[in-house]
Amino acid sequence: MPKHAETRLLPFTASQMYALVADVARYPEFIPWIMAARVRSVTANAAGEVMLADLVIGFKMFRERFGSRVVLRPEMGEIDTEYIEGPFKHMISHWRFTDAEGGCEVGFDVDFEFKNKLLQGAAGLFFQEAMQRIVQAFETRAQELYG
């Protein structure tokens, strides 16, 4: 089961980075391998909002849609994503955004496993590189929007 965790200090505010990550509908514009995104619904709750969203990921001949439940907690500076349907056995991620001197600290961790053993094996081969490219895509997008 691939897992990844990292924390970065970025020269943007926590609210700017939170807004960037929370804008799931725009992911196809800048995140590698995300070909389409659709927000099904957004519902308010006591801590923030719950979004149901679909993403289509593609790599060479592989193309899959998966649905997620995204819990947005702006007051806490946190976003949690939980897999609800698609090619995974499970997938969870957690984002944390904290203002810090000179910008903000962004923490990200993800844990997932594909149902298909062949896909899981392939994911293990390029997982670290893929995670680095995705995190870099968020940083580059932040620079374009806020830099």
| Maximum pairwise Cα distance, the chain | 44
Q: How far apart are CA 74 and CA 76, in angstroms?
A: 5
Tally of structural domains, the chain: 1
Question: Is residue 37 included in any domain, yes or no?
Answer: yes
Does residue 1 belong to any structural domain of this protein?
no
Would you say residue 19 lies in a domain? Answer: yes
pTM: 0.89
Contact 5, 135 (CB under 8 A): no
pLDDT digits (tens, 9 = 90+) for 98-144: 999 999 999 999 887 777 676 666 666 576 777 888 889 999 999 99
In a domain, 2, yes or no: no
Give me the domain span that covers residue 122.
7-51+58-146
Identify whether 86 is part of a domain.
yes
Instruction: Report the CATH number at residue 97.
Output: 3.30.530.20
In a domain, 123, yes or no: yes
* Residue 77 belongs to some domain of the structure: yes
